[in-house]
Amino acid sequence: MSVIKIYNSSWSIYDTGFGDRIQQWELAYQLNENNGFSHTLLVEDYAWMETKFIDFPYTETTDDFKTIEHQGIRIDNPGNLFTKLDRDTNYYLDPGSLMILPPSGMSSKLKLKDKDLQGTIKEKVKDRIGIHIRTWPRNLDDNRPDVVYRFDYKSKITKIIEVLNTYPNEKFYLSSDFDYGTIPSHTLFPQFDKSHHPLCDIYNDCDMIDYRNIVDFEVPTNTPIYDKKQNYDFIDKTWEDGDDKVIFINDDGRIRSLKQNTFSEVYPIEKLYELRVKRDIIDLFSLIYSKEFIDSSLTGPFSSYSQFVKEHRIEIEHGF
């Protein structure tokens, strides 16, 4: 069967770009559906490790993504989703101007594979309000609307407290990539309760839980992790292609790196990325199944991740 290839939009280990990528998957799904599911949706395995946890209908992964020849297909308007596809042709989806989608009614097609995990999440967040707190966009040219001036940490914290105070005596589930610094955070596994984290006072003053309270998270702290295949966006850009690439996750959940691999045993980097994505999946469905949801735009910038959560919650509410 021929394929529709979907780009790894906005993907990196620090910010997996799930909110952006899922919108492209939804476009490809609708295009395929309008053609009687004549194609398989194809994604690159390392950048779509969510497929290990979520069932994506009509979708397969590959480690040979780049060598598959294709014809480009651009989706500039909703009418293009009805374009007739040649069953014998591979396509590469260009989302064009439809990158930010209106609600499609498709978010709830994505189901957790592990039903025990789903049950655990539902039980632990059923009486909690989910809150997604987004940091500022990495791209300094990204001027999306925000309720707080960029990198004004004091005002950001004040705004978060103001929003939380509108829910007196409530319990919360926290999902956030908020951290100090004007560059992408190197924190893969945030420790919200620790004194170094900007949200620590809020976290400790409220009845609040996070991904670590849902399942046991065995983060490989202070263990050498050797990247022998590709950089996964870890590498210092000054490193040469021939340099060994060894990273560590410290007790704060942050990445520390070395140039030389002098270790006989190392932790597979693929397992680290899978663990990173598992954290995202737990956050995603904890926000979906919480009794109420505070999206990122109430305490900071718009987030396509928050948008996905809102759409999924609405679809569940209406029985999709």
Q: What is the CATH number of the domain that holds 124?
A: 3.40.50
Own/partner contacts of 233-238, CB < 8 Å, gap of 24 or more, are 233/12, 233/13, 233/14, 234/13
Is residue 14 domain-shared with residue 79, that is, in the same domain?
A: yes
Is 230 contained in some domain?
A: no
252 in a structural domain? no
The answer to the question of residue 180 being in a domain is yes
pLDDT tens per residue across span 29-79: 999 999 999 999 999 998 899 999 999 999 999 999 988 999 999 888 888
Are 50 and 174 found together in one domain?
A: no
- Which of 102, 133, 164 finishes a domain? 102
**Residue 108 counted as domain residue:** no
Domain boundary among 48, 72, 102: 102
* Domain match, 80 and 195 both: no
Q: pLDDT grade, residue 231 (50/70/90)?
A: very low
Residue closest to 5 by CA, chosen among 20, 23, 25: 25
- In percent, how much of the chain has pLDDT > 90? 53
The answer to whether 121 touches 286, Cβ cutoff 8 Å, is yes
Same domain, 155 and 304: yes
Tokens representing residue 71 in the block:
């014809």
Whether 249 is in a domain gets the answer no
Question: Of 261, 298, 269, 304, which Cα lies nearest the Cα of 284?
Answer: 304
64 in a structural domain? yes
In this predicted structure, the answer to whether residue 162 has a pLDDT above a threshold of 60 is yes
Q: How many structural domains is the chain composed of?
A: 2
One-letter amino acid at 146 equals D
Q: What percent of the chain has pLDDT over 70?
A: 87
DSSP secondary structure string for all residues of 126-156: TTSEEEEE----SSTT-----SS-TT-HHHH
Please tell me whether residues 7 and 66 are part of one structural domain: yes
- Domain boundary among the residues 102, 130, 158 is at 102
Same domain, 54 and 149: no
User: Which CA distances in Å does 156 have to 21, 125, 165, 206, 296?
Assistant: 27, 25, 14, 17, 12
Is residue 131 scored above 50 in pLDDT? yes
**Does residue 155 share a domain with residue 26?**
no
Mean pLDDT over 16-26 rounds to 87
Q: Are residues 312 and 209 part of one domain?
A: yes
Distances (CA, A) of 31 to 41, 77, 107, 157, 314: 10, 12, 15, 42, 23
Each residue's pLDDT tens digit, 77-90: 888 899 999 999 99
Chain centroid to CA 76: how far? Answer: 25
70 and 181, same domain (yes or no): no
43/76 same-domain check? yes
Q: pLDDT tens, 254-305? A: 887 766 666 667 788 888 889 999 999 999 999 999 999 999 999 999 998 9
CA distance 118 to 317: 17
Quick check: is 65 in a domain?
yes
Q: How far apart are CA 149 and CA 169, in angstroms?
A: 29
Instruction: Tell me what the mean pLDDT of segment 164-188 comes to.
Output: 87
Task: Report pLDDT for 185.
Answer: 66
What's the helix, strand, coil split of the chain in %, to 5? 35, 20, 50
Residue 239 has pLDDT above 50, yes or no: no
93 shares its domain with 121: no
Residue 87 domain boundaries: 3-102
